[in-house]
Amino acid sequence: MAKTPPNCAMVLFGAHGDLTKRLVIPALYNLARQNQLPKNFALLGVDHNNCTAKQWRDDLHDFMESLTQSKGEAKEKKIDEKVWKKLSANFHYLTADFTKDKTYSDLGAELAKMDKAYKLDGNALFYLAVADRFFGTVVDGLGHAGLLKQNGKHWRRVVIEKPFGHDLKSAKELNARIRKQLDEHQIFRIDHFLGKETVQNILALRFANGLFEPIWNRDRIDHVQITVAETVGVEERAGFYEVTGALRDMVPNHLFQLVAMMAMEPPSSFDADVVRARKADVFKAMHPLTTSDVVRGQYGAGKIGDEAVRAYRSEDGVKKDSATETYVAMKLGIDNWRWAGVPFYIRTGKRMTRRSTEIAIRFKRAPYALFRETKTEEMKSDWLVLRIQPDEGICLHFNAKQPGTEMVLDSVALNFNYKDWFKAAPAVGYETLLYDVFTGDGTLFQRADQVEAAWAVVDPILKAWAEEKPTDFPNYKAGSAGPKAADELLREDGHAWRAIE
């Protein structure tokens, strides 16, 4: 049974933002339903919008009614009014400008009032659901106002959303700036991918089963494919996406975290710093990338299902000659004993044939072809496929004899479906991460050295792409599996991408 987190206040910067409505508030609601919030808890929303606490609560309630993410369901018809009333009764609001000193003195006064009224023991969590240009400003403001000081009696923690920097230089500068005000253990750099039950299940699969860990190395694994495919376009985020692109948006965080979970050495314990150090080791061991290891793409007009989809350059807010990539694929090498010679192929893109996130491990062929009734080219390699979303589970593909008098083989599958087995769907992500922040567990959050090591891998590509604009954009149709050049990336090694399923 999960322990009850300590009493605390939560200060939510960006209280009117999309992230707050779609993810943070539903996660708090889910925790409240599961009785996993602190016994004494209060939330202070901070934003520049001029409104009252009641207006803010009503706005959140209306949004929650339209899209409630309860554990195990993407949507439900209505929220539990009893749970919501109890939770939102302790919601407060402060109209403020993040750039003004007065904001933080006012915030300190509000926190003191809330602490006394709700008996919060002086503990406070500051959640930065704001544009990344405000990260340093808000942390400086909190630090200069003395709101980040902690002692043996109370704690102060800060949650920071991605993007954490735009390249290696900016990531180092941001790390240096916020660490003037905070110790590393107070900083929780959040990546919602790591909150997914199925991502955390990678560790259980590897380290809790004697079946897999002995073969989790270059002697038995031929290569690894990681796919994060989306059917959506940029939606309302054109301004953000135009200066970010698929590489910055997805690779140093989401995809590299999946690679790290797959490739890390066994930690001596599940202490947060031990686990994070093993992940950082993976990034530091990655072979330096060149442009020949990476493919970029941008979607043109096409169809997804029966729906006609316009090209990226025709999206609202996008330049007509935009060089921003909406797809990236790359070949990674990890230079250590376990993985030397094993390519890790990763890809992510928007407006692809279907939504799917999976990790596929291809094992090497059996060393000797005993089964001569089956042609060599028909002998399929074994695959272990970890489905992260939407159909969460694990599938093992292997060869078995077909019915009949002859020894002819075919590929079959053992399939584990998360929802069917546990009779419950996995958590959507933010509940787990928020609970971990409340309890002070940093295992699933990125440390400074991880962030900088990940940016160091992709930085040479960012610089090369900045100097050489693409001449073939758009180079894949919406509703397809991506550009042909990405297929060539694997074909050169005698491999092929798995179909996006």
- Total H helices, total E strands in the chain: 16, 18
Strand 344-349 with 221-229, pairing: parallel
Contact 135, 165 (CB under 8 A): no
CA distance 198 to 388: 6
**The two three-digit tokens of residue 353, written as one number:** 């044939």
User: Rounded to the nearest 10 degrees, what angle do helices 25-33 and 53-66 cross at?
Assistant: 80
CA distance 452 to 464: 19
**The two three-digit tokens of residue 313, written as one number:** 């350059």
CA distance 41 to 37: 7
- Cα maximum dimension of the chain: 84
Q: Between the CA of residue 357 and those of 237, 354, 372, 383, what are the distances in Å?
A: 21, 10, 36, 16
Contact 228, 347 (CB under 8 A): yes
Active-site entry in 144, 254, 287, 495: 254
Cα of 123 vs its chain's centroid, Å: 27
First to last CA, the chain: 36
DSSP E strands, 121-220: 124-128, 156-160, 187-189
Residue 261 CB partners (closer than 8 Å, separation 6+): 199, 202, 203, 279
- Burial status of residue 460 (CB atoms within 10 A of its CB: 0-12, 13-18, 19 or more): middle
Cα of 52 vs its chain's centroid, Å: 33
**The two three-digit tokens of residue 46, written as one number:** 């901070």
Establish whether the linkage from the previous residue to 163 is cis, with ω within 30° of 0. yes
Helix, coil or strand: residue 442? coil
Q: Between the CA of residue 488 and those of 251, 289, 326, 497, 500, what are the distances in Å?
A: 20, 17, 18, 10, 17
Verify whether residue 254 is a known catalytic residue. yes
Residue 464 CB partners (closer than 8 Å, separation 6+): 291
CA distance 184 to 459: 24
Helix, coil or strand: residue 76? coil
CA distance 394 to 321: 42
Q: Annotated catalytic sites, by residue?
A: 254
